[in-house]
């Protein structure tokens, strides 16, 4: 404490002990978003990624949210892939970050003729810009039309087989339980922030005590049957319900989705807890930003600072937001070869 403060009476500043060492390097730390749908966002949202230091991203084209016709046919999904392929290079040229693709068949809605889609997918997997298969994964309940578990699992397994053959990682859509809310909304209005006709939600095809976790176990079964190594599986939407299983009983990577915490209740604190419990070696963070949801393109950059505040050191932060996805998806001139 110095007595030479010019302030009229002592302020907080007069009582400062040691100034903390601030992690200035986090301001410019490059980061990778290994699961988003940025090709569906606005130009301004994509610019936000660039402005906040995104180095690379995997834009995932597989969601049924963007197929207007219900029921969904294979050609509808293929349109999503082609649309993403069509626009990807322009997105890179506009914003300078590396934008690669994940292509897959999501099982959140039944696809009428998945076989011809899976057949076509083989050729798509050879494209240099395709760095992942997915998102996919058994889903306990569908939109519009139910899809029985065996058929879903077969579609997941077929995609994992393609991933194994083309040496691509698979992005799993692991189901979350929604964040607790004290009230529910009028059913005819659905959930504000999520553009979807929620009245079309179907009765579950997977029941029991913990269908969300059961679904992940079925995905792992599919990976084994397809000959896909567990370390080539990135379980996105990791959460408190599946972390222990994935960490302790598999070699999968876990990617925590923090771009719509208001919906699924996962945020940087969960990531910090997982790093404390298991180390940073198999952890990543993604935003899942998409136009049909209230999502935040700055979420990953914000999480970088938040992880530090929660006590995670800079090296571990760099590993989860940059090095792990760099290696697994071969981005930013990385790759395990």
Residues of this chain that bind Zn ion (CB under 5 A): 288
- Taking the complex as a whole, the smallest distance from the CB of residue 17 to Zn ion amounts, in Å, to 46
Q: Are the beta carbons of 286 and 33 closer than 8 angstroms?
A: yes
The set of residues, in sequence order, having a beta carbon less than 8 Å from that of 86 and lying 6+ positions away, is: none
Cα–Cα separations (whole angstroms), residue 174 to 31, 108, 214, 225, 256 = 23, 11, 10, 18, 10
Looking at beta carbons, which residue is closest to Zn ion?
288
- Taking the complex as a whole, the smallest distance from the CB of residue 33 to Zn ion amounts, in Å, to 11
- DSSP letter assigned to residue 237: T
- Taking the complex as a whole, the smallest distance from the CB of residue 61 to Zn ion amounts, in Å, to 10
Compare residues 46 and 318 and give the one whose CB is closer to Zn ion.
46
Structure-token match 């569906």, residue found: 40
Compare residues 288 and 296 and give the one whose CB is closer to Zn ion.
288
- Taking the complex as a whole, the smallest distance from the CB of residue 269 to Zn ion amounts, in Å, to 21
- Taking the complex as a whole, the smallest distance from the CB of residue 62 to Zn ion amounts, in Å, to 8
Compare residues 157 and 288 and give the one whose CB is closer to Zn ion.
288
Task: Kindly tell me the burial class for residue 17, based on how many C-beta atoms sit within 10 Å of its own C-beta (0-12, 13-18, 19 or more).
Answer: exposed
Q: Are the beta carbons of 147 and 110 closer than 8 angstroms?
A: yes
- Give the DSSP H/E element, type plus range, for residue 99: strand 98-103
> 226 by DSSP, 3-state: which?
helix
Compare residues 239 and 288 and give the one whose CB is closer to Zn ion.
288
């Amino acid at each position: 404490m110095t007595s030479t403060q010019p302030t009229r009476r002592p302020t907080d500043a007069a009582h400062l002990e040691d100034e903390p060492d601030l992690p200035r390097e986090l301001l410019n730390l490059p980061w990778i978003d290994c699961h988003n749908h940025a090709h569906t966002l606005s130009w301004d949202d994509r610019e936000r990624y660039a402005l906040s230091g995104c180095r690379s991203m995997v834009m995932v084209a597989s969601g049924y949210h963007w197929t207007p016709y219900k029921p969904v046919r294979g050609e509808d999904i293929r349109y999503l892939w082609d649309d993403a392929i069509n626009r990807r290079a322009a997105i890179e040229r506009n914003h300078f970050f590396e934008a690669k693709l994940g292509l897959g068949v999501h099982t959140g809605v039944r696809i009428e003729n998945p076989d011809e889609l899976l057949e076509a997918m083989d050729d798509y997997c050879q494209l240099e810009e395709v760095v992942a298969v997915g998102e996919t994964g058994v889903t306990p309940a569908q939109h519009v039309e139910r899809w029985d578990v065996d058929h879903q699992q077969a579609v997941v397994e077929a995609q994992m087989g393609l991933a194994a053959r083309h040496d691509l990682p698979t992005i799993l859509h692991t189901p979350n339980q929604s964040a607790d809310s004290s009230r529910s909304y009028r059913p005819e209005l659905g959930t504000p922030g999520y553009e979807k006709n929620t009245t079309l939600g179907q009765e579950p095809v997977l029941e029991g005590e913990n269908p969300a976790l059961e679904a992940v176990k079925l995905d792992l079964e599919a990976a084994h049957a397809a000959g896909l190594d567990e370390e080539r599986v990135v379980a996105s939407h990791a959460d408190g319900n599946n972390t222990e299983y994935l960490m302790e009983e598999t070699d999968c990577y876990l990617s925590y989705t923090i771009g719509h915490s208001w919906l699924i209740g996962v945020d940087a604190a969960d990531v910090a807890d997982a790093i404390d419990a298991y180390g940073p070696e198999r952890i990543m963070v993604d935003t899942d930003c998409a136009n049909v949801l209230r999502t935040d393109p700055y979420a990953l950059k914000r999480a970088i600072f938040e992880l530090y505040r929660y006590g995670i050191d800079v090296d571990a932060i760099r590993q989860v937001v940059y090095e792990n996805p760099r290696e697994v998806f071969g981005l930013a001139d990385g790759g395990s070869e």
